[in-house]
Amino acid sequence: MTSFTVIIPARYGATRLPGKPLLPLAGRPVIAHVWQRAIDSGADRVIVATDDSRIADAVKPLGGEVCLTRSDHPSGTDRLAEVVAREGMDADTIVVNLQGDEPLMPSALLAQVANALATEPRAAMATLCAPITDTDDLHDPHTVKVLSDHLGRALYFSRAPIPWDREGNTGLQLAAARRHLGIYAYRSGFLARHAGIPASPLEQLEQLEQLRALEAGEWIQVVDAITTPGPGIDTAADLLAAERQLNHSSSEG
């Protein structure tokens, strides 16, 4: 079984939904659901990385481990790098990044992405994808697409519809297209060397942080997810949808 640590970056000051890690969801704060998903994944260790004592105060009664980080990190990856450095993690330690607004992320996917990295020693990172079956999703800039080679190494991530079939065969295009799922596993050594590197030109153009690693020549392993993750929470409507999904799951159980 793969050994890994889950770090949950959780920021209070989200622009669209301030304080969302602490908002009530099915009787518990959002962050409590996220933490439980990480615990259920079989991780050796789960750390909530936050810059806000209110989030820390919500996690500690659960028995959760908290690392209070700086508040000026430009991304969740930079926040993870601070935790890795402060904890003195070995360079080969596998760290899974579970965002603090993903209460519906299946625990099995955390273990899967960690195992994908563990089984490809050439990779610095691993991530998951899923088939795209709808042309609307293919052309939606909010749906990030990924292409990989025969070894599973990422070739490119884009908000544009890739690959593009110049003959206009939508069926062939959909057969090759994959939707990127925003869950990552990293080797701690990668996080240490990646921290502080300025945003790359392609990253700035597409607004996709993972392109910084590709431009630096890093190997990102991509595998098809074994199940479908629930949506993250960005808006009040997302929170209501998650409430309905959790209540429906409870009633079925």
pLDDT of the residue at 250: 65
Whole-number pLDDT of residue 75: 77
Residue 36: the pLDDT is 97
CB 183 within 8 A of CB 127: yes
Report CA dihedral (78, 228, 31, 189) to the nearest 10 degrees: -30
User: Are residues 100 and 12 in contact, defined by beta-carbon separation less than 8 angstroms?
Assistant: no
Low-confidence ranges of the chain (pLDDT < 50): none
Q: Are 129 and 164 in contact (CB under 8 A)?
A: no
Amino acid at 187: R
Domains and CATH numbers, the chain: 5-227 (3.90.550.10)
pTM: 0.93
Two tokens, residue 29:
């704060």
pLDDT value of residue 251:
60
Q: Is the dihedral of CA 247, 251, 252, 253 positive or negative?
A: positive
The tens digit of pLDDT for each residue in 22-64 reads 999 999 999 999 999 999 999 999 999 999 999 999 999 999 9
pLDDT of residue 252: 63
How much is the pLDDT for 253?
57
- Give residue 110's pLDDT: 98
How far is it, in rounded angstroms, from Cα 4 to Cα 22? 26
